[in-house]
Structures are given as C-alpha cells and as structure tokens.
Structure 1
C-alpha cells in the first residue's frame, strides 16, 4: 500500500524525555510514560509533562537497562494496580528483568513490590526484553531476552530467552507447559528467543504475536504457542555479528518458523493491534515500532498468517506504539531528547 505524501499529520505533544520506553493511557486519558533512566511521568493534554512520580523502583540504568514497560491491570478501575518491568540491579554488578506492581493513588505509586524476577541475574547491559501483555483469561505474558548469552536460550532451567506466563499476582498457572518437567522453570511458556520488545494479543483470535530482534539480519514476526521452541541460537534467518553464518530455521523442522522475516532489520520495539476509526485501513492490523527502520511497520494478520503491507516513515527511532482514545496513534522516540508524537487524521 502506498500512501500519498503528507497524508498523515504528525504532532509533537511532548519532548525532553530521556529515552522513553513504554506508555499506556489512564482512564482519564492522561498518558503514563516511562523513561529508561528510571522515571515514570504523566503527560496531560493541558498541563503537559509531570515531574517524575514517586514510588518507582531502583533500576539498573546502564546500556539497554532501565525502566521499561508500563501497563494497567485490566481491573484498574477497581484495584488501581500498575505493572512495571525494569532492569533490577543485583549483586556484583549483575542485573535481571523484573516485573512489579504498585498502587496508583494521588499521582504516585504506593506499595510497589516485585512479583517476578528472571533467573539468573547476569552481568552486562544488553537484551532484557520486558513487554507486558494481559491474556483474555486473566494471565500475564511477559517477554524476556537471552541477555546476549546465546546458549541458555535452549536451556529451560533458566528464564533466559523465554516468554513466561504467570498469574497477575506472580504465581504459576498449573497448566503451563513445563510445570511437570523436572528442572524446568515453571513460568516458561515458550523458549529459544533472542530479544523481544514487541508483543500484542490479536483481539479477534486471542493469538499472541511477537516481533523479535534477530542478530545481523533476521528479525522475526512470530506466532507464539505454548511449549514451542523458536530456535535461537541454533537457527536464525540472520548471521552472527562476526559474519559467521547461522543455519536457517527451515533446516531444523523441530523449531517454529517465523511468519515474516526482516533483512535488513527493523529492530522492532512496541506493538499494538489497531481497532480505531481514524484509520479504518489499519483496523485489525499490527502496528510495530521500528528502531532502525525509523517508523511504523504495518502488518496484516489473518488468523495465523501475516504479511507486511505498509511502512510509515517517521525519521526517528520508534520505541513504542499506542492507540489514543480518539483513534489516533501515539509513538515515542528513543532518544536522549525523546519525544511523544501523535499521528493525526488524514488530510
């Protein structure tokens, strides 16, 4: 699909955010935004950007580490619970990906507590994952990453390179695929992943989709199924950074293959399934943020099939995508002077 130049209006609605990473709308239509440095802020259409909120956790703010995703509990109107993912500092300069809950009252977080930690904690500043999705049956799917460690993504005795499925209090659902497997982490839902910063559930089917970063080439759009192995680092549609080749996924049929492969990479981060009225041609499509592709990648999803249909160039590293209550699309840019942009109505 080709779009005429100037067909979308782009408005800067906030700036001077330090590497914003995640966002979600409150019921009153204010926007919660995380900064990787550890701040959680409120963007109000009248009052602008707030000072950092009180009550957020200490974060490992090095390299790709910091404060990541923010999500409201599906029952937020009743319980006021806000979920945050973040790189949690550990002993001896290690860090791990953690998920916690705080109570949002009077524009601050109270009683924040961690309900899940990726094990083990690892030294190094790369590949944390961190996207939160709530399933229709009341569970959380949390994307993790292999912390740039390669082989542990094939070892279910740790959480590296996995997606985990937990209850909203952090406990383990007893129908998880590896609950009865000796030595396996009971939270694991799928494994063999590299670094996942894009995830969303298709509301039409309930299917869980991720866009996963490959190495040098080979970003993947994957349909995630319980207990399946997605092959990293044994197979990939990309190559190692030193130029050495990795076997293609279709040479190992025991691994799940991607529905879309991107080479050159788009470096996907953030994703929604759009259902607004402002852009009817995007309804039931996935909108994926692109860091290296500097815009939005539009993917048509039909049951278990997918194809890219359009790219919206924004000349900025797009870290997250959200749908506003009025049907416009909000994106945040990954920059030291990060911005919140609003894609408006067609001219």
Structure 2
C-alpha cells in the first residue's frame, strides 16, 4: 500500500503542520544606504553596546574592559572582573537596568577564568564599576559559544541566553543550562511563572531550550521576545520565542555539520519550533535591536541585526516575516543598539575597532 507523506495530509485537512521557514540568505544586497557612518571612538575588541539615558554609551571589551563613551570623550572603567579572554570567550554583553536613572545599575555577562558564563551586576560610578555582585553562574561551564545576551522583559524579568558551549547534545538536556534561554528575577533567581517553575534547578529557570549560539535577544514593541542564533554550516536562525518551546538544536537545523554531514531540517520534525527566517549562506548574526525613533521612519518597529560573516547590517520586519534590507558595510558588525533618543550605534569586530553612530544620509 502506498503511504501518503504526513505533511501534505495535514495541510489538506487544514491542520497545522511544521512551519516552513523562509531562507533569506541569498537575498540581494541593498544598493542604497539611507545612513552615513559617523565614527565616535576606536576600541580594542569591543563586544556590546549599552546606550545610556543621557545619549552616551557603555561598550564592553572582550579582553575584560569596559568604556564609557560620551561624544569625543572615552573613559575606561576600573573595577571590571577578570575574564577568560580566549577564542569566543571574554567580557560579553552589557545592559543598563530599566531603573538606571535611579539606581545606576549595570548588568553584564562574562566568561570567568574557570570557563563559566557569569551574570553580574554593578553600579556605574564616575570612572568605575562598583559593588559588583554575581547573580548567576553557569554550572558546568564549557568551551566557546557562550551566548550571554541580556534582555529585560516588560514583565519585570531578566532573560539570559546561554549557548551550547560547543557541546551540542547538551542543548537537549533539561538539567543543563547550555542551549537555553533563562527567565530570571533581577536578582538572578528563577522567575515565578516559568513553564517548570516548580521543578527546581535549571528546569525552573528555563524559558525555552534547543538553542545553539544565541547572540541576539530583544523584545518587540508588542512584547514578543525574539532571538537569533548562529547555525553550524548554514542555517542561522531568527526565532520567535515562546515559553516552554524547544527550538530543536541539535536534533534539527537548516544547516549541516561542519564535516558536511546532513542534519534533519526543521520541517521534518514538527515537535520542534521552527525559525521565522533563516540564512544560508550564513550572516553570523550578532546584536539585535528594535528601532524606535524619528531619524529613520521606515525602520520604525523593525529589527536591526548585525552580521559578522555578512559584514553589514540587516533590517528585518518587526513580525519576523521577511528581510527588508541588507547593507554591505565592508566590516564585521559585532553589535547594534538603539538609544532612548533613537540614535543607532554599531561596533565592528576587530582588534582596533570603530564605534559608529548612524546618521540619516
């Protein structure tokens, strides 16, 4: 007896089958750039940007540094903890607390000398980070691909991405923090209302799982959480994050193993959440921000994503439905951020890297 494939049957019955993600990796480069790049500072191996309410920015440096850049003035902060500066590891994300104007609190992540991803908090002084305390520490640690991106939710929780640390199987281990997005209190504990809040340990902290190397995490204007992650050989992903969902790594991927061996695609496994978009060839996405401002009205409510391998900047529809533009900047873009006044910032990934502000062309 001839068997009919499952997916067409589901579709013909009007039932939900696995989502079929759109590959935008071969979309053409946008010719016209609606912005100019205005250099602001030259920094050593910068990693992340955190805009401050006064229009200045904090920038983390992978070697274990942090700078406060205001106009043409740049101040390196003292008090930053020691990091493991090797390969993909080092000082990682930096994020200004929602109540910064009252508390001066700054959250940041780094890989410790013991190889653990650490979430920490300090107070920004005149030229230092003060009162640093560890809020969450990864156990066990790992190798590269640390993740470490911070996002503050409209629900008052802190969301933290944790990479698979180059040990892919562990992304599917529920008691291992690798390959997870965690939802924590502002003190670093499991947040109430998580899908497995009563389970204790890592399970109580987990919001979603099955992630590879998540270097972008941001909330849209409607409160939706979006994440992007680097695929293996192909298959960079943009994911709409829902509580309790498993995004499939490393059981499925729209890329291949580095050896060239295939990995089942998302559309073969409906039990895993599929990406909204993916990139093959890869762009190696790094940094994710939603635009809110008057300088670029066509960008309002849409996502800006930096590209390392893609060497540029990508504009994606705010609902994740399509890539709207992709600009070749001729440099590896490590992070992109949008300030409270609508200023757009990017940094390049280099030993001697520029911090740029984007002005309308």
Could you state the TM-score of these two structures normalised by the residue count of structure 2? 0.89
SS at structure 2 position matched to 1:138: coil
Cα distance change of structure 1 residues 131 and 183 upon mapping to structure 2, 3 Å threshold: closer
**In 1, Cα distance between the equivalents of 2:201 and 2:299?**
44
Residue 260 of structure 2 corresponds to residue 246 of structure 1: no
Counterpart residue number, 2:60 = 34
Counterpart residue number, 2:175 = 157
Match among 224, 227, 252 for residue 207 of structure 1: 224
SS at structure 2 position matched to 1:113: strand
Match among 39, 45, 50 for residue 19 of structure 1: 45
**In 1, Cα distance between the equivalents of 2:163 and 2:333?**
19
Q: Deviations over 1:247-280 (max 9, x none)?
A: 0111111000010010000101101000111111
Counterpart residue number, 2:89 = 65
Counterpart residue number, 1:45 = 71
Greater share of residues in strand = 1
8 A Cα contact 2:177 2:202, kept in partner: no
Counterpart residue number, 1:173 = 191
Cα distance change of structure 1 residues 253 and 100 upon mapping to structure 2, 3 Å threshold: same
**In 1, Cα distance between the equivalents of 2:31 and 2:294?**
19
Correspondences of 1:1-347 after superposition (within 5 Å): 5=32, 7-15=34-42, 17-46=43-72, 48-50=73-75, 52-90=76-114, 95-122=115-142, 124=143, 126-181=144-199, 184-203=202-221, 205-302=222-319, 305-346=320-361
8 A Cα contact 1:156 1:183, kept in partner: no
Cα distance change of structure 1 residues 6 and 300 upon mapping to structure 2, 3 Å threshold: closer
**In 2, Cα distance between the equivalents of 1:313 and 1:9?**
13
Cα distance change of structure 1 residues 37 and 182 upon mapping to structure 2, 3 Å threshold: closer
**In 2, Cα distance between the equivalents of 1:172 and 1:328?**
33
Q: Deviations over 1:316-340 (max 9, x none)?
A: 1111101245534210001001110
Provide structure 2 residue ranges, at least 5 long, that are not aligned to the other structure: 1-27
8 A Cα contact 2:91 2:110, kept in partner: yes
How far residue 141 of structure 1 moved from its aligned partner, in angstroms, is: 0.5
Q: Name which of structure 1's ranges 181-190 and 285-294 shifts more when overlaid on structure 2.
A: 181-190
8 A Cα contact 1:131 1:197, kept in partner: yes
**In 2, Cα distance between the equivalents of 1:33 and 1:182?**
35
How far residue 182 of structure 1 moved from its aligned partner, in angstroms, is: 6.9
Provide structure 1 residue ranges, at least 5 long, that are not aligned to the other structure: none
SS at structure 2 position matched to 1:29: coil
Q: Which runs of 4+ in 1 moved over 4 A?
A: 1-4
RMSD, aligned α-carbons: 1.6
